[in-house]
Amino acid sequence: MYRIVKKRVLNPSVVLMEIEAPMVARKAEPGQFIILRIDEFGERIPLTVADFDREKGTVTIIFQLVGTTTKQLSALEEGDALVDFVGPLGVASHLEGLKKVAVVGGGVGCAIAYPQAKKLHALGAQVDVIAGFRNRELIILEEEFAKVATRFFCTTDDGSNGNKGFVTDVLRGLIEEGAAYDAVIAIGPLVMMRAVSELTRPYGIRTVVSMNPIMIDGTGMCGGCRLTVGGETKFACVDGPEFDGHQVDFDEAIRRGRVFASQEKESLREHEC
């Protein structure tokens, strides 16, 4: 069993949990993910590793309350335990050698962007972090980003934090001002990652996106997480979850992401009754 040692509600729909999982913590790297089950009847859900502490033997996950399982997970408290916590899965981010990077996070995607920014900072890179949220109430990890970012920009769609705009507005401004990035790392909703990739394409800036499709086994056997990248079929769980944003077929990924929307709604209704 995997004990919840810390729980923090980051905003009304996003929760952080630190889970005791020493074997996973020992090997976890930014960019990788875990698959958990709450109990033996539970659905398997993938969550990207938001942080880890090898000494304490813990792994931090941050999740949004979007479906039945994440709602059930959010109801657990410190001291409760999960039946499965498998990982680390997927390919770790390749961050070595990068000197100047823009890390772009959208919404809860900032939870995944944070370990990337932290590691880049530790490697001595210059890291501009651009974080975007719908409104001020949804902002997460502001203090954490401020500690590791060379420059930190936080925008809201409605301007309620005094900085109205989209992450792409900020990124475009920085590129046009002459920020010569080795790479842009974009993590968030598919439409945001597509917009960032289209923005950087004409500049020829390497752009890495973190894909989060439907997953079942997480080991490359079920095919549930397949994507088209550069015209080839790839499995996010074993070939990713990070891919070249200029090569990803986002339209297909968006379509596939909606396949079970009605079942997800049905499940939520059943569990709320």
Binding residues for [2Fe-2S] cluster: 222, 225, 237
For residue 144 the two structure tokens come to 């954490």
**215 lines the binding site for ligand FES (CB under 6 A):** yes
What interhelical angle do 167-177 and 190-200 show, nearest 10?
20
Q: Which is nearer to ligand FES, 105 or 218 (CB)?
A: 218
Of the candidates 212, 214, 198, 209, which has an alpha carbon nearest to the alpha carbon of residue 243? 209
Residue 251 CB contacts under 8 Å (≥ 6 apart), including other chains: none
From residue 159 to residue 198, what is the string marking binding to ligand FES with x (rule CB under 6 A)?
A: ----------------------------------------
Q: Which is nearer to ligand FES, 21 or 237 (CB)?
A: 237
Q: Which is nearer to ligand FES, 35 or 190 (CB)?
A: 35
Q: What is the DSSP letter of 164?
A: B
Binder to ligand FES among 2, 52, 153, 235 (CB under 6 A)? Answer: 235
**117 lines the binding site for ligand FES (CB under 6 A):** no
Residue position matching structure tokens 């033997």: 57
Give φ, ψ of 77 to 5 degrees. Answer: -125, 170
User: In angstroms, rounded to a whole number, what is the distance separating the alpha carbons of residues 237 and 228?
Assistant: 13
Cβ atoms of 34 and 27 within 8 Å: the answer is no
Binder to ligand FES among 146, 191, 221, 259 (CB under 6 A)? Answer: 221
Residue 91 CB, shortest distance to ligand FES, in Å, is 12
| Window of 4-12, 193-201, 217-225, 240-248 that interacts with ligand FES by CB under 6 A | 217-225
User: In angstroms, rounded to a whole number, what is the distance separating the alpha carbons of residues 238 and 179?
Assistant: 33
| Window of 98-106, 124-132, 194-202, 223-231 that interacts with ligand FES by CB under 6 A | 223-231
Cβ atoms of 62 and 108 within 8 Å: the answer is yes
**240 lines the binding site for ligand FES (CB under 6 A):** no
What is the enclosing helix (H) or strand (E) of 145?
helix 142-148
Residues 81-110 that bind ligand FES (CB under 6 A): none
**237 lines the binding site for ligand FES (CB under 6 A):** yes
Cβ atoms of 248 and 229 within 8 Å: the answer is yes
Residue 46 CB, shortest distance to ligand FES, in Å, is 8
Q: Which is nearer to ligand FES, 146 or 254 (CB)?
A: 254
Binder to ligand FES among 217, 249, 264, 267 (CB under 6 A)? Answer: 217
Kindly report the CA angle at 60 between 56 and 63, in degrees rounded to 5? 165
Binding site for ligand FES (CB under 6 A): 215-218, 220-225, 235, 237
